[in-house]
Structures are given as structure tokens and as C-alpha cells.
Amino acid sequence: MKTQIVASLMPSNDTLTSEELHHIERYANDFDILELRIDGLPQCEMTTIKEMVEQIVALPVTFELLVTYRTSQQGGKGALSPDDYLQLLRQLATLDKVDFIDIEWEPNQEERRQVVEAIHQGGKVSIASYHNFEMTPTIEVLKKTYYHMSKLGANHLKIAVMPHTQQDVLTLLQALSEANEALQQWVTGISMGQLGLISRTAQNTFGGALSYGALSDSVAPGQLHVQTLAQVMPLYSIFES
């Protein structure tokens, strides 16, 4: 499977600005999926989200839509309680014209497994995500994390970690490659920051399903602009059959 490019957009107003809409339309050929990060909204209410989705789907360009609410515990701006967060995801599962929904992985996951089922019943694809902004765990811990994430039942498994050495980047890429071979789900592995840039550009080489880029401002450390990502990623696939 060819790695898909995800363009991240985190609006800070209750409606998308003309500039934000222009960026989406201008760079639509450079990405496959638009990620709408709703944790930056002043009021994260369903009416607001619905109106934003309508603004996006009204554009004369084609792509799939991912909605993500990133909690503060996972590096986002979201301040919802765990119960309110899961309730929000259940509501998002009922939205028309949304293709993907992100759900943050936690070790205690029975209730989250039910939310994943609701996402699937809503006809949407689920992305289980886990972030560590402090460090890169050992290869054994990363592989176990992918395995435990797979038990959630989500379609995609995404891990993003912070490297401090070149070896950390290699550790993440090895875990990604082995998870791709061992698990049935699509997997993504990101080594954040400047040090981990190769994990974004060479995601396809190591079996990763998604690579996230920015439409304007980066929403994660080391995130490249989607246009740059679209230009560079094919270089890592040139020798693949």
C-alpha cells in the first residue's frame, strides 16, 4: 500500500477563514487526507464542527477527511475530561462526510473499544494513536505497544515518539517495519522533530501507511509542509517494484 499524505489543519476560529480554505484548495493535489484538528476550537461543539465540515466538502477538490481531537495528555490543546472526550468521538461517528476518526490509545481500553465499534458502525475508518513527547521507548516497548494497540480493533495504528539520538530514529523505524510485517492493521510510525524527519519522508519504505504534513503552520514537531512531503516522498520509493 502506498503511503497516504495527511494534511493537518488546526483552526482557531469557529469557522474556517478564507485563507485556510485557500490553502486546502491550493495544495489539494499534494495530499490524500485532510486532518481537521478540532482541539484548537474556542468552542468544540457539534454545530461548529458540522459547519466546518460543510465548508470543506463544498470546495471543488477531492480528498478524504479525518477529524482529530488531540487531548493535552497527548500533546494537543484539548481539555475535555476522558468521558467527555469519548462522548465527542461517539458524536463524530454519526457525522456525514467524515471518513476517518482518530482515537487516542490508552492501556485500559474496554470503553475505547466500544467507541471504535461505534466509529465503524458509523461507516468510518478508525486511527488509534499514541504519542510520547519525552522520549523514544526501547524496541521491545514499541513493539508491545503496537501489539496492545492492535487489540483495540482500530483500522490504523499510529505511534509518534520523540528522538534524542540517531539510534532512537532507527529504533522507531525498526519497530514500524516489524509491526507492518506482524500485524494485520495499517501502521504508522513517526519520529518527531528535525532529527526524525526521515521517518516522515521515508514512511513508505518502512511499511508506514500515513505521513502527516502541514498546510501552513506545523501542528507537531518536525512536520513538513505537504507540498515538500509530496515532492520528497517519491524519492524513497523509486527503486520499489
The residues carrying an active-site annotation are: 131, 158
Between CA 207 and CA 199 the distance in angstroms is 11
Q: Which contiguous run of DSSP H or E holds residue 84?
A: helix 82-92
The amino acid at residue 117 is E
Strand-pair partners of 71: 78
Q: Give the CA dihedral 20, 25, 30, 36, nearest 10 degrees.
A: 40
- Closest residue by Cα to residue 149 from 187, 206, 191: 187
Identify the helix (H) or strand (E) that includes residue 128: strand 125-132
Name which of 219, 226, 221, 224 is nearest 69 in CA terms: 219
Which residue numbers belong to the known binding site? 8, 35-37, 70, 200, 223
Residues in binding site for 3-dehydroquinate:
8, 35-37, 70, 200, 223
